[in-house]
Amino acid sequence: MESQRDEKLRHIHNAAGLVTPDGMPLVWLSRLIGFRQVARVYGPDLMLMGCERFAERGYRHFFYGGAPGVADKLVVRLKSRFPGLQVAGTDSPPFRPLTAQEDQAVKRY
């Protein structure tokens, strides 16, 4: 919904290799306006599938968000499930708009 108002975000979404609906209301609306092929993509399932496939290909992952320590715990569990998983890093910034310095630090990853 935000990409309807934000041209920069809309460009990012339109250029992305994968964009999935976040929740059933978007699926229902998409179907209502004629996009019959749209289906729900459950985020945890997508993440596990991606970790499995991309670990096999040697892709690196970065886990961003959540309460402090949550991303690190997730990485431990995912690495035990997918031994070839490569993790470039994790970051759990405060739940508020980032300062300019914090934003630049995130972009260095």
Asked if 32 and 18 sit in the same domain, the reply is yes
pLDDT at res. 14:
92
pLDDT reported for residue 102: 86
**Bridge partners for 61 per DSSP:** 87
State the Cα–Cα distance between residues 9 and 5, nearest whole angstrom. 9
Q: Where are the alpha helices (DSSP H) in 1-109?
A: 2-5, 7-15, 24-32, 43-57, 70-81, 100-107
Averaged pLDDT for residues 49-65 = 92
Tens of pLDDT, residue by residue over 19-54, are 887 788 888 988 999 999 888 888 899 999 999 999
- 85-107 pLDDT per residue, tens: 999 999 888 888 889 998 888 77
DSSP assigned state of 69: T
pLDDT score, position 27: 86
Same structural domain, 57 and 23: no
Report the run of H or E that residue 104 belongs to, with start and end: helix 100-107
Residue 57: which domain range? 43-96+104-109
Q: How far apart are CA 91 and CA 29, in angstroms?
A: 33
Q: What are phi and psi of 60, to 5 degrees?
A: -100, 150
Q: Could you give the number of structural domains in the chain?
A: 2
Q: Are 58 and 108 in the same domain? A: yes
Residues 66 and 91 in one domain: yes
Whether residue 47 sits in one domain with residue 90? yes
* Same domain membership, residue 63 and residue 108: yes
For 3-22, how does the pLDDT look when each residue is reduced to its tens digit (9 = 90+)? 889 999 999 999 998 888 77
